[in-house]
Amino acid sequence: MEQELDLLRLLWTRLAARKTALTLQDGRPCRIDYPGEEDPASGTFRAAELTIDGIRRRGDIWFGPELPADRTPYVVLQIVPAPAPSIYLRDGERLPQLVMPAAEEVRRAVASLQTGAAAYECGQWLGELPAARRIGLLDRLLVERLDRKCRDVMRLFDACGGDWSQTLYAMLFRALGGNRNREAYLDLASRATYPMVLRERSSMEQVEALLLGTSGLLEGCFFDDYIRRLNDHFRYLARKYDITPMYAGAWESSRIRAQNRPVTRIVQLAAVVAGCDFLFDRVVGAASREALHRLFDVPVSPYWTTHYVPDGTGNRCPHHIGPEKADLLIINAAVPVMFAFGSRTGKESIKASALELLASLPAENNAITRGWSGTGVPVRSALDSQALIQLRNEYCTPHRCAACRIGRSLIKNRR
């Protein structure tokens, strides 16, 4: 259904560009004075201006037969692919409806793009664009991605009781987890909270005991003196803070490299949060990538330099968060929190600093960025890689070519 609605949005932009005269389902004439600003998050065109049967109207354009009741007062036109049941406004007036079926040639053009989406076929066209136009398209995608991340941060901020320090703390844990342990890390951050860490931060052992004990990953480990001490500390802390530990099975460890396993990452972040006063202020006020690297470059306790897991020895265990992981923490935790905080407080300078940080970071090296660069798209910084990840995840993978600005340009050329 979403792909069908994407077609309607595409057709709406084309009707507006051609200044096509329209006839509503009830026979009234409609003129598009301004098509509105597309809002990818809601799927609407906001603040459109229409003249319906000689009367000027201003509001949102809604696509599809179902309209949530809370949106009804703001909508001035409903667009559907086939006649749909009428929707009535609070004053009893029927919401204007425009029936707009997609032409077969448009459907064929969209289907052709969807067929090549998995192979990054649009990349060749994107890579050959003049730099100014390509940057403009990627900038729009970057804004979409930051807006989505900002909404994620604000939901977490609400869940954290409006505490920015706890929100950043939870986002750092979330970013540590990647895709496979993201929810487990968030659960850990909600059980062993940042205020608890602050109260125990005078002792690294206490902080490690708090976090590892709460994670459930110390359960059943008693074979050396250090781990026995951590377990003893945690029994006291669990009573002190009324902590219910997690189930160890909540953590995914199989097919994860040793340096990324939960125990290793938890003790690394324990060192960071225990060793830093005013963590939120330090992150939000960071002037450079190097400043944040120094913040995250805190050595772990000596025990963990030879142990990947409790009771188990290993060679050359990572002593601290490395530069590549630090960059990912900046991209996925520091920048989103800075952007959300700047948006919430109206501090544009902090939002600008977040963008400058992204521009200073190297592009992420993953399957998505390699896919785009392999077709000729320049991927020079994290600004580029974040925009291209947004393109892949939100448009290419779900086959939303008709909603994509790049796809729309190609559809226009193929018709």
Which residue carries 């189930």 as its tokens? 247
Domain contains 172: no
Residue 34 in any domain: the answer is: yes
Residue 306 maps to a domain: no
Angle at 29 between CA 28 and CA 31, to 5 degrees: 140
Domain count, the chain: 1
On whether residue 31 sits in a domain, the answer given is yes
Please report whether residue 50 resides in a domain. yes
pTM across the whole model: 0.88
User: Cα dist. 226→212, 263, 306, 312 in Å?
Assistant: 13, 15, 12, 12
Contact predicate 383/146, CB 8 Å: no
Instruction: Judge whether 154 and 331 are in contact, CB under 8 Å.
Output: no
Is 130 within a domain? no
Torsion region of 47: left, alpha or beta (phi above 0 gives left; psi -120 to 50 gives alpha): left
**Residue 58 structural domain:** 2-102
CA distance linking residue 375 with residue 393, whole number of Å = 17
pLDDT tens-place string over residues 115-138: 988 899 999 999 999 999 999 999
Residue 153: count of CB within 10 angstroms of its CB: 25
Per-residue pLDDT of the chain (415 residues; tens, 9 = 90+): 788 899 999 999 988 888 778 999 999 999 999 999 999 888 999 999 999 999 999 999 999 998 888 888 899 999 999 999 999 888 888 999 999 988 888 888 899 999 988 899 999 999 999 999 999 999 999 999 999 999 999 999 999 999 999 999 999 999 988 788 999 999 999 999 999 999 999 999 999 999 999 999 988 776 788 889 999 999 999 999 999 999 989 998 877 787 788 998 999 999 999 988 889 999 999 989 999 999 999 988 888 888 777 756 656 666 788 999 999 999 999 999 999 999 999 999 999 999 999 999 999 999 999 999 999 999 999 999 999 999 999 999 999 999 999 999 888 766 5
Tell me whether residue 32 is in a domain.
yes
pLDDT in tens, 12-67: 998 888 877 899 999 999 999 999 999 988 899 999 999 999 999 999 999 999 88
The verdict on residue 185 lying in a domain is no
